[in-house]
């Protein structure tokens, strides 16, 4: 019997949401490719986040910085020294584990008593050692230590080192924010749970610059606002969302206070987004390492200071897995699987089906398709029975089935079939566009 996450993985492959990277070569661990439906869903989610951050907040601007940056940035940020996971190796079967998976107090564990979960051997583990998660590469044609660079493990640093340029160009006054969506890379020791923890992923981060004394209030407001995003914009089940506050031992090297928003995945409660008070840690370190004055000039009070930073940091791929987990529904009564995606998120908004392949029905269906295709992502489907066509789209999360039948030729009406309750209405062709538009805004 497959568990839910395995069922989601198999649906994602079958319907073209997500594929294992390099599939024909046997796969490449912890990297995934997004198929035709996956890329639409991912774009829909990231556009909602971008809209929520940069359109709805006049004081938040966007940025797109490079994945490769000056290597000193990672010294200054503390990632070269402190961005480590503790790892242990089984000497018998060579399996590798994060030591903190066995116990948060892994330093005081007696490793001779621990059994390897893979081969069952005892007294087989190496001592825990720190493993840096950054991917190293060389820039330019010569490989030596002077050419070393890193693939960024977070997008945040690109914002910090550009913050005064963006602030000056846009004449931003504190408090203000800078938002960025982009790839990040981490050489995770173990990657599991599908796209939850991968070595290449996308982050959606927003850094909010405030007066030092305004940090607690800003953190509180952003916690509220980010939670609302999941319930209102993504329409997720609120009972599956919660906050988790980091204890002292859990805090990242840059954080004074940190909260995770967690979701109850089929494999348990896990983090989807972090909201952090990073204080002036990053700006102070970049000021020290670059030798440049990074203070903000407050014209109203005629003084200079290093702003504090409240960060909201979400993983786009994890958010997508959250949306998939939240919408997966086995409709046992009707023997079908449905992705109950909000129409706003659905990769395809409607399937347009001629009931049969003759009597002018395909032509009429094409007319509707051509009328609407510049507004919404639609598919045209005339293959197989109408029931099979609908069930295919139920798995893809398509909210509406628009069917052209013989009556459509006579009176310009179609049937609309609703994905979740399978009810049907007859509506005029002119009502199809407002129906889809309203569902995106209102449901
Ligand atoms: N700039 C702060 C930062 O990067 P983080 O808690 O390490 O904080 C933020 O990461 C978010 O990035 C996480 O909540 C998660 O959604 C996503 N993320 C982190 N590592 C990931 C991985 N290996 N695979 C997928 N998403 C990841």
Atom 9 of ligand 1: nearest residue by CA position: 313
Taking the centre of ligand 1 as the mean of its atom positions, its distance from the CA of residue 210, in whole angstroms, is 23
* Burial state string for 339-371 with b = 16 or more CB within 10 A and e = fewer than 16: bbbbbbbbbbbbbbbbbeeeeebbebbeebbee
Q: What is the pLDDT of residue 443?
A: 45
What share of residues in the chain are helix, strand, coil (percent, to 5)? 35, 30, 35
Structure token digits, residue 424: 């049907």
Orientation of helix 361-372 relative to helix 432-442, angle to 10°: 50
Strand partners, 265: 268
**Torsion sign across C-alpha atoms 404, 409, 412, 415:** negative
Distance 354 CA to ligand 1 centre (A): 45
pLDDT in tens, 4-63: 999 999 999 999 999 999 999 999 999 999 999 999 999 999 999 999 999 999 999 999
Pocket-testing residue among 152, 185, 203, ligand 1, by greatest number of atoms within 8 A of Cβ: 203
271 lines ligand 1 (CB under 6 A): yes
Total residue length of the chain: 443
Condensed to tens digits (0 to 9), the pLDDT of residues 104-143 reads 888 888 999 999 999 999 999 999 999 999 999 999 888 8
| C-beta of 318 in contact with ligand 1 (< 6 A) | yes
In this predicted model, what pLDDT tens digit does every residue of 295-311 receive, in sequence order? 999 999 999 999 999 99
In the numeric block, the tokens 């966007």 are attached to 62
pLDDT at 1: 66
Structure token pair of residue 137: 């590469």
Distances (CA, A) of 255 to 247, 248, 276, 311: 11, 10, 6, 10
Which residue among 74, 318, 322, 325 is best mutated to probe the pocket of ligand 1, counting the most ligand atoms within 8 A of its Cβ?
Answer: 318
- Reference 422, options 396, 384, 394; nearest CA is 394
Is 275's C-beta closer than 6 angstroms to any atom of ligand 1? no
Q: Find the DSSP H helices in 180-268.
A: 215-228
Tell which residue, 411, 412, 406, 396, has the closest CA to residue 351: 396
Q: What pTM was estimated for this model as a whole? A: 0.94
Report residue 19 as tokens.
């594929």
End-to-end CA gap in the chain: 34
For the four alpha carbons of 192, 152, 17 and 420, in that order, the dihedral sign comes to positive
Residue nearest to atom 20 of ligand 1 (CA): 197
CA-191 nearest atom, ligand 1: 23
């Amino acid at each position: 019997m497959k568990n839910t996450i395995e069922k989601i993985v198999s649906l994602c492959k079958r319907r073209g949401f997500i594929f294992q990277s390099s599939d024909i070569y046997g796969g490449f661990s912890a990297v995934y490719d997004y198929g035709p439906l996956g890329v639409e869903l991912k774009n829909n989610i990231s556009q909602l986040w971008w809209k929520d951050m940069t359109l709805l907040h006049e004081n938040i601007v966007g940025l797109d910085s490079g994945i490769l940056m000056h290597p000193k940035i990672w010294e200054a940020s503390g990632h070269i020294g402190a961005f480590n996971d503790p790892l242990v190796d089984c000497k018998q079967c060579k399996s590798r584990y994060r030591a903190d998976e066995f116990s948060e107090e892994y330093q005081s564990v007696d490793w001779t008593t621990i059994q390897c979960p893979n081969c069952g051997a005892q007294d087989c583990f190496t001592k825990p050692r720190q493993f840096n998660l950054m991917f190293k590469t060389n820039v330019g044609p010569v490989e030596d230590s002077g050419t070393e660079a890193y693939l960024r493990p977070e997008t945040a640093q690109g914002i910090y080192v550009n913050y005064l340029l963006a602030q000056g160009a846009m004449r931003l006054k504190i408090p203000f924010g800078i938002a960025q969506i982009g790839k990040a890379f981490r050489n995770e020791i173990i990657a599991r749970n599908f796209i939850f923890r991968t070595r290449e992923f996308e982050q959606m981060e927003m850094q909010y610059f405030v007066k030092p004394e305004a940090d607690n209030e800003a953190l509180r407001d952003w916690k509220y606002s980010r939670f609302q995003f999941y319930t209102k914009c993504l329409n997720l089940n609120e009972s599956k969302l919660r906050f988790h506050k980091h204890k002292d031992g859990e805090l990242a090297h840059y954080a004074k206070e940190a909260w995770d928003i967690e979701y109850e995945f089929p494999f348990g409660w896990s983090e989807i987004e972090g909201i952090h008070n990073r204080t002036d840690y990053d700006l102070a370190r970049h000021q020290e390492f670059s030798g440049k004055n990074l203070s903000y000039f407050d014209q109203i009070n005629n003084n200079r200071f290093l702003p504090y930073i409240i960060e909201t940091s979400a993983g786009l791929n994890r958010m997508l897995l959250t949306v998939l987990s939240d919408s997966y529904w086995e409709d046992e009564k009707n023997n079908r699987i449905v992705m109950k995606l909000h129409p706003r998120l659905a990769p395809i908004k409607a399937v347009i089906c001629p009931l049969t392949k003759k009597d002018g029905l395909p032509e009429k269906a094409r007319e509707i398709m051509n009328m609407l295709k510049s507004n919404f992502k639609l598919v045209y489907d005339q293959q197989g029975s109408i029931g099979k066509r609908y069930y295919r789209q139920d798995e893809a999360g398509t909210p509406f089935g628009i069917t052209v039948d013989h009556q459509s030729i006579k009176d310009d009406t179609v049937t609309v079939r609703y994905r979740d309750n399978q009810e049907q209405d007859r509506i005029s062709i002119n009502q199809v566009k407002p129906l889809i538009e309203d569902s995106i805004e209102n449901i």
